[in-house]
Structure 1
Amino acid sequence: MSASGLGQPPRVEATVPRRYELVLPPGWVRIPLREGTKEALEKVLFTHMGQVPEGIPRDAAMRFRLDMRRRLEKQARAARRNGGLDLYLPVLPRGGIFLMASFIVAEMPIGQDRSVPPQAVIAQLADEGVPGGTAAMVEVAGEPALRRDYASAVDEEQQGSASGDVQPAALPTRRVDYVIPVAGDSGRWISITFSTPGDGDIDSEFTDVLVELFDAVVGTFKWSYE
């Protein structure tokens, strides 16, 4: 299980959660973005990633890990600038290759009056839809949330993956966003954003399986008040 704290407002009521929790699939790890990022990256690269993808010579393993560190640090910086709390990555290869996927948990400003019920905000966002995709109201941790599923071009900060390959700028990714109100604290929200190029076809069965895996992870989301 992965757990991460939330940034707290000046006055914290007892009914406001202090953190969230997720159950991760085997081989996935959490990279905290507010503190401890460097140490977490070191652990990922030199402890978890004991293997390197097929086709990389043994004497090139260190160079591979250093290149991976540079790419992951770049991805972590970009996520932190966008309010990121945690970055989640697969670090164990499947069939000799690393999955090209990740998701980020971030605080997000909705810009809505705190007097507006979260369900009304979610309904409005769902009605607005998303270009080239779908948006729908769902339930996360027993409360209403928004789920968006769409295609997106890879930007420069997101290029590169756990496979060590740089993706062409034109390669689209499959993205799934969950927008979740912080329980008991109207006006505060978090997002959980998943991104993957899949197997190169964002509508393939393989890519759908990765999306289903992410949806299953979000299904384990819960608030912790400890």
Structure 2
Amino acid sequence: MSAADAVRQAPPRRYALVLPPGWVRIPLREGTKDALEKVLFSHMAEVPEGIARDDAMRFRLDMRRQLEKQARAARRNGGLDLYLPVLPRGGIFLMASFIVAEMPIGQNHPTPPEAVLTRLADENVPGGTATTVDVAGKPALRRSYRSVPDQEEPGSAPEAVRRIALPTRRVDYVLPVPDDPGRWISVTFSTPGDGDVDSEFTGVLVELFDAIVGTFAWSDE
């Protein structure tokens, strides 16, 4: 690997987030396997209501396959970290997650952040909105929209936990890395909520994500 390649592949400055109880971070650049093991066999001591005791291991193995698939896809797209809830609420696991990833914006020809944000805000977001917001004391972009799947996602879990591809509510934050021209990250949230992307329950999950991003801070530690 050349020195230039090493620079391009180095992650941005460190950041910090305050997570709600029951949420965990899965690093995607290194330590992914160990983090998944900890999540599945330490944090996930409980299984959702409706899953028989004899199906508990099968449930965890299926969850591991799903999480590994999600982690691989996120890493291929510049993912740094995957965040998800691992403790059930009222016997139900929340179907939600968000990914922090690098974005290939202006890496070869750095552009002033204000110009990039203006251009992104002007782009059409079908069925959604794009607004300029403040994150960690700096301008950023927030996009909110719906995503409709083309087909069901296959799965081998018991019917009670089989993951079906549902319409999802998505929220993206796009942030420039301070004092590092041409470096950007995204924080992308996705949830089918309770199956209705416009329901009050789904709205509460979006508000929770917005609150998490509200704790975002850059760190040199």
Normalization by structure 2: what TM-score? 0.89
Q: 1:20 to 1:120 in 2, by over 3 A?
A: same
**Residue equivalent to 2:163:** 166
**Residue equivalent to 1:58:** 53
Does 2:89 match 1:91?
no
Native 8 Å contact 1:174 1:197 kept in 2: yes
SS at structure 1 position matched to 2:94: coil
Q: Cα offset for 1:151?
A: 0.3
Cα distance in 2 for residues equivalent to 1:159 and 1:8: 37
The one-letter code matched in structure 2 to 1:211 is: V
Q: Cα offset for 1:114?
A: 4.6
Task: Describe how 1:114-193 pairs up with structure 2 within 5 A.
Answer: 114-154=109-149, 164-168=161-165, 171-193=166-188
The one-letter code matched in structure 2 to 1:65 is: R
Native 8 Å contact 2:12 2:183 kept in 1: no
The one-letter code matched in structure 2 to 1:9 is: V
SS at structure 2 position matched to 1:147: strand
Native 8 Å contact 1:8 1:18 kept in 2: no
Question: Percentage identity across aligned positions?
Answer: 76
Cα distance in 1 for residues equivalent to 2:168 and 2:216: 24
Task: Describe how 1:15-54 pairs up with structure 2 within 5 A.
Answer: 18-54=13-49
The one-letter code matched in structure 2 to 1:134 is: T
Deviating runs (4+, > 6 A) in structure 1? 155-161
Does 2:215 match 1:217?
no
Cα distance in 1 for residues equivalent to 2:114 and 2:153: 31
Q: 1:112 to 1:38 in 2, by over 3 A?
A: closer
- Structure 2 residue runs without a partner (length 5+): none
**Residue equivalent to 1:3:** none
Pairwise CA RMSD of aligned residues? 2.4
Native 8 Å contact 2:152 2:164 kept in 1: no
Cα distance in 2 for residues equivalent to 1:27 and 1:53: 14
Cα distance in 1 for residues equivalent to 2:38 and 2:100: 20
Native 8 Å contact 1:67 1:164 kept in 2: no
The one-letter code matched in structure 1 to 2:75 is: R
Cα distance in 2 for residues equivalent to 1:182 and 1:60: 45
Q: Cα offset for 1:104?
A: 0.3
Q: Cα offset for 1:60?
A: 1.3
Native 8 Å contact 2:18 2:212 kept in 1: yes
Alignment: residue pair count: 213
Q: Cα offset for 1:18?
A: 2.9
